[in-house]
Amino acid sequence: MKRNRPDNLKRKRDHSSSSSTDEESMMSMQSQSTSNKKNVEDNFNFNLIIHLNSLTSLLKQFLCPGCKKFWDGSVTVKERNGLYMQLEFMCYNCESLARLYSSPKMPTSRRHEINIRLAIGGTLCGLGRAGMLKLLGALNLPSPIQEHKYHETQQFILNYVEKAQEQSMMCATEEAVIQAGSVRDLVVSGDGAWLTRGYSSLHGIAALCSTTANPKVIDATWCSKTCIKCQGAESIRHANPDLFRAFQENHECQLNFTGTPYQLCTTLS
C-alpha cells in the first residue's frame, strides 16, 4: 500500500492539473467568445438607410416562425416620430405579427436617439428645421419632428453641451495650472468673432485658450444685442397682456449687451 501511494498521489495531481487546465481553457474560450460578440455588436452599432421595398423583398426569402411557410404579408407604419418609425409586419398565412423599432430611446429620456442625432447634425452643419426638411425630402426620408418638438430637442441637447463645456474648461484650466508648476496666474491667448463684417454685428463670441504645449479652451462667452423671442413676443404685449407677462416671467432673455455694435466687437476682441 505504501508503494502505491505515490502513484495515487501522482494520478491525483495529474487529474487536478488537467482539470485546472481545462477550466482555464474554458474560461479563455468564454472570454474570447464574449469579446467577439462585443466586437460584432460594436461593428453593427450604426444607423443604415434601407429602402422599405428591399426589406420586404428580403423577408420573403425567410420562413415565417408562425406557419413555417415563406413569409408573405403586409407592412404597416404603427408609429412615426421624426425619423423614428415603428413598423408592424403581418403574415397573410397565419396573421402572426412582428414589430421593428428603427431607433432606441435615449437612456435618460423618452426621446429617440435618431432624432437627437438629427438635431445635433443640423446644428453642426448650420441647418435649422427648414434646412433639414429640404435635405430629408431630397433623400426620400420622413420629415423631422414638429417645430416645437425640434426646439425642445435642441434645448435638451444644449443642457448637456453646456455641462460638457463647463467640465471640459475646468479640466483644461487645471491641466494648464499643473503644467505651469501650480501657478494659477496663467498666461492665456484670446480671440473673438462676430457674424457680420465691419462693426455692425449684433452677436459675437469670444474664447480664452491656455498657452501650454497643447492649448485648450479654458473660458468662452457670447454677447447679443437682440433677443428674437422678445421681438416676437411684442406682438402679444397689447393683444394679450397676461400671456405677455407670463412670457416675461419664464423667458430667459438672450440680450446681454447694450453698447454699440462697435463696442461689442472691440469688447470681444
CA 121 from centre of chain: 9
The whole-number average pLDDT for the span 138-152 is 89
Residue 124 pLDDT greater than 80, yes or no: yes
Other beta carbons within 10 Å of 9: 10
User: Is residue 96 pLDDT above 60, yes or no?
Assistant: yes
When pLDDT is averaged across residues 45-54 and rounded to a whole number, the result is: 89
- Walk across the sheet containing 217-224 and list its strands: 188-194, 203-210, 217-224
Residue 169: its pLDDT value, please?
Answer: 95
User: CATH number for the 54-102 domain, one of 2.20.25, 2.60.40, 1.10.10, 2.60.120?
Assistant: 2.20.25
In the predicted model, is pLDDT for residue 186 greater than 80? yes
pTM above 0.85, yes or no: no
Specify the 3-state DSSP secondary structure of 88. Answer: strand
Q: What does the mean pLDDT of the chain come to? A: 84
- The kind and range of the H/E element at 192 are strand 188-194
pLDDT band of residue 191 (cuts 50, 70, 90) is confident
What percentage of the chain reaches a pLDDT higher than 70?
82
Which residues make up the CATH 2.20.25 domain(s) of the chain?
54-102
Average pLDDT over residues 60-84: 93
Q: Which of 189, 187, 109, 197 is nearest to 155 (CA)?
A: 109
Residue 196 has pLDDT above 50, yes or no: yes
Per-residue pLDDT for 204 more than 80? yes
The string of pLDDT tens digits covering residues 212-239 is 888 999 999 888 888 888 888 888 888 8
